Amino acid sequence: MKLRVLPVGLALSLIVGMAMTPEQKVAKTVVDDEVKLTEAVQQEAVQQEAVELEADADLVEDTVGVSESYEEDEEDTSNQTAAHYEKGKRYISHRTIDGREYSLLIDLRKWGNHATENQLLHLRELFYEVYPQMYDRFGAYTNAPLDVVLVIEDRDEGVAGAGGDTVTIVDKHLENSRNDFDVLSHELVHLIQNGWNGKYLEYDYDSEKFAEYCRYIYAYKDGKYNDEHWELPDINAQNTREKSIRFFVWLDMETSSSNRDIIRDYFEICCDKKTETANWNKAWKNLFKGTKFEGKTIDEVWNTYTKTDFARYAAKAPDFNTKSELLQKTDVRNYIKKHSFSQNYEDSLKK
Ligand SMILES: [Zn+2]
């Protein structure tokens, strides 16, 4: 098999689930678990390469199709099995999407059978649906890995972590949250960020904020599972610019156009590591050039946001088949995908 090369700077993964827990105390515990888990992921990513040099005997081509029951499955998948994945093995699949070859290796050597096979199939499908979209817009800029490892690990604490080319999701988290597939979307963003450094971000929390923003926009199956399970916090839950994920979504919607994508430009600034925290007010002024917010400060734009209905609409879907109030009123997810620079650029390449 092809040998994967580990990037020099292992991407620091951060936290999932902060947005859904308003209680600081709970969120803090999650943060600590995540940091520990991320360190473990990074160490294991290094060890794993040595293991792969020796033994490929447990590596299986992952060619199983998507069964009908899996397609129709909408709710708790705990009682359904696809009779495909076996504990102790690794499964590799490959797909070419929009001209790029991606692969996903699902490592089940630490699987405790808490996640169902159906959940694993969903995660595989999510990878090929969500990651290429984020890759086209952001990941190509950072040369993020195209060959990704997903480890399902049986452990008592934590949710998920990411480093290098590897995402680890805690087996029992998948058991406790059967439809939290987009935990993987979030972690994949950390691979795409490829080592953002807090010194060159406006706020330390920006890595997480950006991962959650992407989770919302690029959520699996247009957010079918995400929106029923995870809520994009409103202005009451996140009432500062530092914490607000929804502000990023709004900003993207307000500024995306065929010739301007300031979220993509923001991403480049974070990656380039030239703009230190103290210089971000100026960076935002530059970002706003050529948009409706030209001449305004980031805090003035934030004030505009705080007065909008967008900041207040409910983002949680009542059930799998009903869109959230936010999407019914704004269709923001589709709007951004249609108008952001990457999509138009991709379309122009295909013509
Ligand atoms: Zn994170």
Instruction: Tell me the three-class secondary structure of the chain, residue by residue.
Output: CCCCCCCCCCCCCCCCCHHHCCCHHHHHHHHHHHHHHHHHHHHHHHHHHHHHHHCCCCEEECCCCCCHHHHHCCCCCCCCCCCCCCCCCEEEEEEEECCEEEEEEEECCCCCCCCCHHHHHHHHHHHHHHHHHHHHHHHHHHCCCCEEEEEEECCCCCCEEEECCEEEEEHHHHHHCCCCCCHHHHHHHHHHHCCCCHHHCCCCCHHHHHHHHHHHHCCHHHHCCHHHHCCCCCCCCCCCCCCCHHHHHHHHHHHCECCECHHHHHHHHHHHCCCCHHHHHHHHHHHHCCCCCCCCCHHHHHHHHHCCCCCCCCCCCCCCCCCCHHHHHHCHHHHHHHHCHHHHHHHHHHC
Confidence of residue 5 (pLDDT cuts 50, 70, 90): very low
Could you tell me if 117 and 126 are in contact, meaning their C-beta atoms sit under 8 angstroms apart?
Answer: no
Q: What is the mean pLDDT of residues 294-316?
A: 98
Tell me: the pLDDT tens digits for 326-340?
Answer: 999 999 999 999 888
Query: Which pTM was predicted?
Result: 0.82
pLDDT of residue 347: 60
pLDDT of residue 34: 53
Q: 30 C-alpha vs ligand 1 centroid, how far in Å?
A: 11
Percentage, residues of the chain above pLDDT 90: 68
* Nearest Cα residue to 235 out of 316, 309, 311, 310: 311
Percentage, residues of the chain above pLDDT 70: 75
Q: Are strands 160-163 and 147-153 parallel, antiparallel or unpaired?
A: unpaired
Q: 38 C-alpha vs ligand 1 centroid, how far in Å?
A: 10
pLDDT of residue 52: 45
Question: What are the chain's domains?
Answer: 1-195 (3.30.2010.30), 198-351 (no CATH)
Tell me: the pLDDT tens digits for 163-214?
Answer: 999 999 999 999 999 999 999 999 999 999 998 999 999 999 999 999 999 9
Q: 36 C-alpha vs ligand 1 centroid, how far in Å?
A: 13
Q: 94 C-alpha vs ligand 1 centroid, how far in Å?
A: 25
**How many C-beta atoms lie closer than 10 Å to residue 236's C-beta?**
9
b/e code 154-182 from CB counts within 10 Å (16+ = b): ebeebbbbbbbbbbbbbbbbbbebbbbbb
pLDDT of residue 296: 97
Q: 17 C-alpha vs ligand 1 centroid, how far in Å?
A: 8
Q: Could you give the CA distance from residue 286 to residue 268 in angstroms, rounded to a whole number?
A: 13
Q: 189 C-alpha vs ligand 1 centroid, how far in Å?
A: 8
**Mean pLDDT taken over the chain:** 83
Tell me: the pLDDT tens digits for 70-97?
Answer: 544 555 444 444 558 999 999 999 999 9
Q: 27 C-alpha vs ligand 1 centroid, how far in Å?
A: 12
Q: 291 C-alpha vs ligand 1 centroid, how far in Å?
A: 30
Q: What is the mean pLDDT of residues 143-147?
A: 97
User: 């690990």: which residue's tokens?
Assistant: 153
Q: What is the mean pLDDT of residues 265-286?
A: 97
Tell me: the pLDDT tens digits for 26-62?
Answer: 333 344 455 556 655 655 554 554 444 444 667 888 7
pLDDT of residue 260: 83
- What are the distances in angstroms from CA 266 to CA 85, 108, 139, 197, 246? 40, 37, 13, 14, 16
